[in-house]
Structure 1
Amino acid sequence: MPLSDHDALTDLFATPPGTLYLDSAAHGPRLCSVHSAAEAALADGVAPWRIDMDDWYASIERVRTLAAMIFEGDGFRGDGDGVALVPSVGYAMSLAANNLALDADDTVLVLEGQFPSNLLPWQQRCAQTGAGLVAVRRAPGQDWTAAVLAALDTDPAIRILALPHAHWHDGALLDLDRISARAQARDAALVLDLSQSLGALPADIARWRPQFVAAVGHKWLLGSHGLAYLWAAPHWRAHGQPLEQNWFAREHAAAMASPSQPPPYRAGARRFDAGGVAHAQKLAMAAAALSQLQDWSIAALSQALGARTAAFDAVLREHGLEDWGTPGHAPHLFGLRPAAQRLDAVARALADAGAVFTQRHGVLRIAPHLQVTPAQMRMLAERVVAAAQ
């Protein structure tokens, strides 16, 4: 299906009529195929004895491979060995923090206002080791990339950079090509939370060479809560220590035999698989969602989402309100910052037009998906302009 066929794209989603859902950064819109897969899996659970274990294992590996293709792109041919199934990004980042070496004279770099899942684990780890934690701030007129690079230039103690690709507040984009190159030159470890970009923006793991990457499944990957993905660099697939011990991460037959010594871990990042996450309904939803993303291709999807935010931006520019937008935002996500005295009026205007969005700290976060058309985005921007008067 061409991504220019807006009517057909709208029909793929279960969003109620009359709703202009702009909150994909909180929870991705529900695809009809994902909803149907969830219902079918729930129905199958009425008779669990009919579910074949080999089929269950195969469904796990299918999701793992599909996720690997989103993380790694076609160049890796969906190498499932790199991906673990985990319950959350907080879990994944706690695992990363526990595995990476960190001494008292080292520093971990994060962004000011970073999402808690990629902040709290580093705060805890720094408290345990005595290491420092630096939350980078932007100077007026400075973007996040320049702020991070400046911090790397001035602080030789930085050993770990824990970053997103797009800031969750307003979609401000980081140039991970430049940042990763500087980190590699410094021999600093890069850890990425791609929850606000993976599935909507191509990732270049081969170029960035991170140690760990994580993303939740329920935002831009269009799946369910409770199933997230952790990508681990090859070293950690052989030597990393999991957060927990469960039979699922070990050689199954040996683990179920109650051995006197723990059996070997399963191959690759499977050693990091969390217990309980391979839930049939979540797996079915993930497989349907990831398959649809593959069919669209992330590059094409990113361009299509960019056309939607660009339509909104264009109207703001036409009326001299471009400073209300986020400079250099990601194609799929931006923050709208009306003048303080017009904030409530703008929020009401959007809501009255059927828009659903997040409002936080004076920012209206706008995160459309394909079921919202460019024409609808222009209409919403015109409502904003009218409310600005």
Structure 2
Amino acid sequence: MDSEFLLDPALCHLNHAAVGPWPRRTVEAVKRFAEENARSGSLRYADWLAVEQRLRERLASLIGAAATDIALIKNTSEGLSLIAQGLDWQPGDSIVGIAQEFPSNRIVWQALAERGVSWRALDLARSSDPEADLIALCDGSTRLIAVSWVQYASGVRLNLARLATWCRAHGVLLCVDAIQGLGALPFALPRYPADFVVADGHKWLLGPEGLGLLYVCPELRPRLRLTQFGWHMVEDAGDFDRTDWQPTADARRFECGSPNLLGAHALEASLSLLTEVGMDEVWRRLQKRTEHLITLLERRGFELLTPKDPERRAGIISFRVPGRSSAELYQGLMRQGVLCAQRGGGLRFSPHFYTPIERIERAVRILDGLLGG
């Protein structure tokens, strides 16, 4: 696995919850695509589209859907916006979410206030049972629960099966921002029957920015009002002389224009690595690393912001050093080559399944040095 990652050995990359590094095969796929384009232009465009189709199939397999259920979108914000602006809201409707969400999963719902739709937010910091507390915020006006599978700052992982079961029983839609979980641990729609799943490819999926997935339950696809239109989202998309048109029935209806084929080559290559390793094995290795990191942090008396319970966390480990400024420690870590983040009032380390344990230990030793240990 070391041969797949070309990271400078002087760096401790613990920032997959932000932007992940590309595997070697992804770098090579992008080089081949660029060189082929430079030599022969679009001569092999049909082959490029075959790569895009493989990408849809890999993404579908990753979440337990069909390839025709996968729309390729620019980013999570776009996918959430397509959902928020596409549903047929009525004045007085409400949405339930979490106050500490990343802005993309707050702003799109708050923007519906102009249509008379309210967004009710759970303070996750005050909740010991987030699923029960989210459900308690719902009433007869609630049309949708919109949450992240894994919270970007604290690393708290929700029990999606529990939420999905309640939502199905009460006629409430469930929208999942899966960006901080997909690529870190297994996901399966049969187990977590969400109505909407959105994610980007540039974090745990080890791909580029600018390309992600949108899943909309097939029964709901025709109910979403389309807000973007173009040649690519219609039936018989290659028949440019056809004057009558209608949106295609599959998920391509949410893709209005030309595909990001450069991004498709990169993300398809990255997903091929995760497929070879297997998501169960990825999760097993990642858990080993996060558990070791937790042990190192607790041994030093640091305050964990991420739950210790393996069922409540994924790849993010956030913590505070009592009596010390997280901002100053973050700056010091970055200066010494520890790629991490400052989130939610603490430091956020996010290794991946391949991260050498020695790099995790070195990062903690560097932190010791900043503390004068």
Normalising by structure 1, report the TM-score. 0.87
**Matched residue, 2:361:** 378
Distance in 1, matches of 2:300 and 2:323, equals 18
Q: Residue 271 of structure 2 aligns with which residue?
A: 290
2:283–2:353 Cα contact (<8 Å) kept? no
Contact 1:242-1:272 at 8 Å conserved across structures: yes
Matching of residues 247-262 of structure 1 within 5 Å: 247-252=231-236, 255-257=239-241, 259-262=242-245
**2:95 equivalent to 1:105:** no
- The answer to whether the Cα contact below 8 Å between 2:12 and 2:362 also exists between their aligned partners in 1 is no
Separation in structure 1 between the aligned mates of residue 357 and residue 200 of structure 2, nearest angstrom: 27
Instruction: Specify which of 250, 261, 270 is matched with residue 268 of structure 1.
Output: 250
- Give the aligned partner of residue 198 of structure 1: 182
Taking only the aligned residue pairs, the percentage that are identical comes to 26
Match of 2:116 among 123, 127, 130: 130
Task: Find out whether 1:89 has 2:87 as its counterpart.
Answer: no
Q: 1:311–1:375: 8 Å Cα contact kept in structure 2?
A: no
Tell me how far 1:146 sits from its aligned partner.
Answer: 4.2
Deviation at 1:140, TM superposition (A): 3.7
Correspondence 1:184 to 2:184:
no
Match for residue 301 of structure 1?
A: 282
Tell me the CA shift for residue 80 of structure 1: 0.3
For 2:285, give the aligned amino acid: A
Structure 1 residues 114, 344: CA separation in 2 closer, same or farther (over 3 Å shift)?
closer
Q: Map 1:295-374 to 2 at 5 A.
A: 295-321=276-302, 323-327=303-307, 328=309, 329-343=312-326, 346-347=329-330, 350-351=333-334, 354-374=337-357
**Which residue of 61, 64, 67 maps to 2:59?**
67
Corresponding residue for residue 150 of structure 2: 166
C-alpha contact 2:206 2:270 (8 A) present in aligned 1: yes
Q: Secondary structure at the match of 1:215?
A: strand
Quote the offset at 1:355 in angstroms: 1.0
Q: Tell me if structure 1 keeps the 8 A contact 2:326–2:342.
A: no
**Partner Cα separation in structure 2 for residue 345 and residue 116 of structure 1:** 24
1:235 aligns with 2:219: yes
Distance 2:133 2:368 in 1: 32
Provide, for residues 20-62 of structure 1, a one-character-per-residue CA deviation record: whole Å limited to 9, x for no partner.
1111111111111111111111111214545334223322211
Residues 346 and 388, structure 1, Cα contact 8 Å, conserved in 2: no
Contact 1:170 1:326 in 2 (8 A): yes
Q: Distance in 2 between matches of 1:347 and 1:143?
A: 31
In the other structure, the counterpart of 2:133 is 147
Q: Single out whichever of 201-210 and 339-348 deviates more from structure 2.
A: 339-348
CA contact (8 A) 1:213 1:230 kept: yes
Quick one: distance in 1 between partners of 2:80 and 2:334?
35
Cα 1:340–1:204, aligned 2, differ >3 Å: closer, same or farther?
Answer: farther
Which stretch has the larger CA shift, 175-184 or 164-173? 175-184
Q: Which has the higher helix share?
A: 1
What are the Cα deviations for residues 173-208 of structure 1, in whole angstroms up to 9, with x where unaligned? Answer: 111111222222221100111111111121131233
- In structure 2, which of residues 199, 214, 220 is the aligned counterpart of residue 215 of structure 1? 199
C-alpha separation in 2, matches of 1:380 and 1:168: 21
Give the counterpart of 1:32 among 1, 24, 36.
Answer: 24
| 8 A contact 2:149–2:157 mirrored in 1 | yes
The 1:186–1:47 alpha-carbon spacing in structure 2 relative to 1, beyond 3 Å, is same
Name the counterpart of 1:118.
Answer: 105
Give the Cα separation in 2 of the matches to 1:355 and 1:333.
15
Match of 2:159 among 175, 184, 197: 175
Cα distance 1:201–1:370, how it changes in 2: closer, same or farther (>3 A)?
A: closer
Q: Deviations over 1:116-144 (max 9, x none)?
A: 222222122232x2011111113546253
Q: Taking structure 2 as the reference length, what is the TM-score of the superposition?
A: 0.90
How far apart in 2 are the matches of 1:357 and 1:143?
Answer: 28
Instruction: Give unmatched runs, 5+ long, in structure 1.
Output: 1-8
- Contact 1:37/1:281 (<8 A) preserved: no
Q: Secondary structure at the match of 2:297?
A: helix
Query: In the superposition, relative to structure 1, how do residues 146 and 29 fare at CA in structure 2: closer, same or farther (>3 Å)?
Result: farther
How far apart are 1:282 and its partner, in Å? 0.9
Distance verdict in 2 for CA 1:171–1:274, change over 3 Å: farther
Q: Distance in 2 between the 1:227 and 1:351 partners?
A: 27
Q: Distance in 2 between matches of 1:59 and 1:196?
A: 25
Deviations 1:152-175 (A, max 9, x none): 3xx442221111110011211111
Separation of aligned partners in 1, 2:127 and 2:249: 47
Verify the 8 A CA contact 1:118 1:162 in the aligned structure 2: yes
When residues 265 and 312 of structure 1 are mapped into structure 2, their CA distance, relative to the original with a 3 A threshold, is: same
Which piece of structure 1 moves more, 53-62 or 235-244? 235-244
2-structure distance, mates of 1:179, 1:253: 38
